[in-house]
Structure 1
Amino acid sequence: MKNKPPYAIASVDAALLLAALLQQEGPMRVTDAAERLGVSVSTAHRLLAMLVYRDFAEQQEDRRYRAGPVWRAATPPEAPVARLREVALPHLRRLVDDLGETANVAVLAGADVRFVATVECDQVLRVGDRTGRTLPAHLASGGKAILAGLPDGERDALLEGVDVDLPRLRKELALVRRRGFALNDQATETGLAAVGVAVPGMDATVRAGLSLAVPTVRFARDRLPGWVAALTAAAAAIGAELAAG
């Protein structure tokens, strides 16, 4: 698990996050970038200008910015991820209001999952924003929920070359399929636990999962049924909304 370094440079962090957002979600206006980063429009404009200069971004005719040539070969389909985030955010907010813990939506990106939206809870001790970060899919709760729903051949191809005990993982994913949810008990970060479910009805273009991330001091097995029920309902609603267009 990668933790934010204590010597992090805010401007560098903002530029890298913005580059990742353009690559993951597609074109955005300067005002969109400012809102996503929580900075002024002038700061967002300066960051975009530097990304353009280094070919991490480029400006379209409609004046929106998109991922530049550096990202082009690895750029995933833009509209589905942006639409997923748009649809998922209200449901994440309701989860946080109802459950009091941080909620995330992530998409499968090769053998990893990439977080595309986070809504933090307001507790002093909480799991922070994961937007733009990646974790190994076989360790993250949402990632395991997604992997459990894949055909065996597709899943094994994704994990080829990954340092993982495949027989053991297959058994765990079979359990995930039976239960309908996956757990991450400090597998990615000490002191953090998470429960995740897959978003149903997603096609091969974008496969997504929802997760609730909880400090281990508040993680209680007797709360799992309520958490799973809320996550499953939210995932079903997101899937239905996306299918309806």
Structure 2
Amino acid sequence: MAKSMKNPPAYGVTSVDHALQLAVILQVEGPLTVSEAARRLGVARSSAHRLLSTLVYRDFAVQNADRSYRVGPVLEMAAKAQSNVSALRSAALGPLQTLVDTVDETANVTIRTGRTVRFIASIECRQALRVGNREGMVFPAHQVSGGLVMLAALSDDELTALYTHLPADATEDRPDLTELRAELRAVRRSGVAVNLERSERGVVAIGRGVTDTSGTTIAAVSVSLPSVRYSAGRVKKLVAALTVAADSVSAALDEDGRDSRH
């Protein structure tokens, strides 16, 4: 049975959703202008200005001298941690687009924080029936392919510590650790993780890890597709394309790191 479906709430307030989208953009991508905000949201400049002004009022954003906006005090600590995420996202966008062009399915990059993963980049394919953009969304790590890949990089002791010290009143889904360990052993052997409608009904995803120069898994690249287009026969091609993409992201990060040291 699918869990944690990410469907828009029936009672959603558009202005609130737009403000939250802007907060995500500021965190993930950095400063933006009123015009850029209006273009990204598909709203009038006056509406974008009001949204950004509200974020400034609540200390979620600050206006720069050049009249662009950046993250404010409320998000500043997270923004500092995002410096590495921004570099990762920049390194991933090119390989991610190549991946989409190769397999004609939506592609994503995720990072893990504790027991959750966050989509920091997502590029949709052009097919009419496709998985939508997931950028900014958060899922339990054990429910998505990228999360499974990153959990597989942990030792058994690290995995146990991660899931056995949950607060007594925690409402998050608790995985069966015995089952999870068995699944992660399979992920380690194959190097990939498959999510068959586990996080969202009708969606299948395959993920592969992105490593840094020390071989540490720091992120995951995944391909998401409608379950009606998934077949065992496609897996080999998808995994091959994912491997190229993951290696390309790692290489781009290594190159950026060398450039910053010179």
> Please, what TM-score do these two structures have when normalized by structure 2?
0.83
Task: Please give the residue correspondences for 1:77-88 in structure 2 after superposition, counting only pairs within 5 Å.
Answer: 77-88=81-92
Q: Is the 8 A contact 2:149 2:207 kept in 1?
A: yes
SS of the aligned residue for 1:19 comes to helix
Structure 1 position 60, deviation (Å)? 4.2
Q: AA paired with 1:152?
A: D
Identity %: 49
Distance 1:64 1:43 in 2: 15
42, 53, 62: which one aligns with 1:58: 62
Alignment root-mean-square deviation, CA: 2.5
Q: AA paired with 2:252?
A: E
2:247 counterpart of 1:236: yes
2:200 maps to which residue? 189
**Which structure 1 segments of 5+ residues have no match?**
none
Distance 2:90 2:44 in 1: 22
2:75 maps to which residue? 71
2:178 maps to which residue? 167
Structure 1 position 153, deviation (Å)? 3.3
Structure 1 position 239, deviation (Å)? 0.7
Structure 1 position 206, deviation (Å)? 8.9
2:23 counterpart of 1:19: yes
Structure 1 position 191, deviation (Å)? 0.8
- The change in CA–CA distance for 1:190 and 1:202 in structure 2 (over 3 A counts) is farther
1:203-226, CA deviations, whole angstroms, 9 ceiling, x for partnerless residues? 799921111111111111110011
SS of the aligned residue for 2:223 comes to strand
Structure 1 position 20, deviation (Å)? 2.4
Q: Is the 8 A contact 2:203 2:226 kept in 1?
A: yes
Q: Which 10-residue stretch deviates more, 147-156 or 230-239?
A: 147-156
Q: Which 10-residue stretch deviates more, 217-226 or 75-84?
A: 75-84
Structure 1 position 57, deviation (Å)? 1.8
- The change in CA–CA distance for 1:239 and 1:211 in structure 2 (over 3 A counts) is same
**Which structure 2 segments of 5+ residues have no match?**
167-171, 257-262
Q: Is the 8 A contact 1:101 1:120 kept in 2?
A: yes
Structure 1 position 183, deviation (Å)? 0.7
- Count matched residues: 245
SS of the aligned residue for 2:154 comes to coil
Distance 1:138 1:154 in 2: 14
105, 108, 118: which one aligns with 1:104: 108
- The change in CA–CA distance for 1:212 and 1:49 in structure 2 (over 3 A counts) is same
Q: Is the 8 A contact 1:25 1:81 kept in 2?
A: no
Distance 2:112 2:30 in 1: 16
2:169 maps to which residue? none
Structure with greater Cα Rg: 2
2:149 counterpart of 1:131: no
> Which 4+ runs in 1 deviate beyond 6 A?
202-206
> Please, what TM-score do these two structures have when normalized by structure 1?
0.89
Distance 2:63 2:99 in 1: 36
Distance 2:52 2:214 in 1: 32
Q: AA paired with 2:193?
A: A
Q: Which 10-residue stretch deviates more, 127-136 or 63-72?
A: 63-72
1:18-62, CA deviations, whole angstroms, 9 ceiling, x for partnerless residues? 112333444444455445445455443322111111122223456
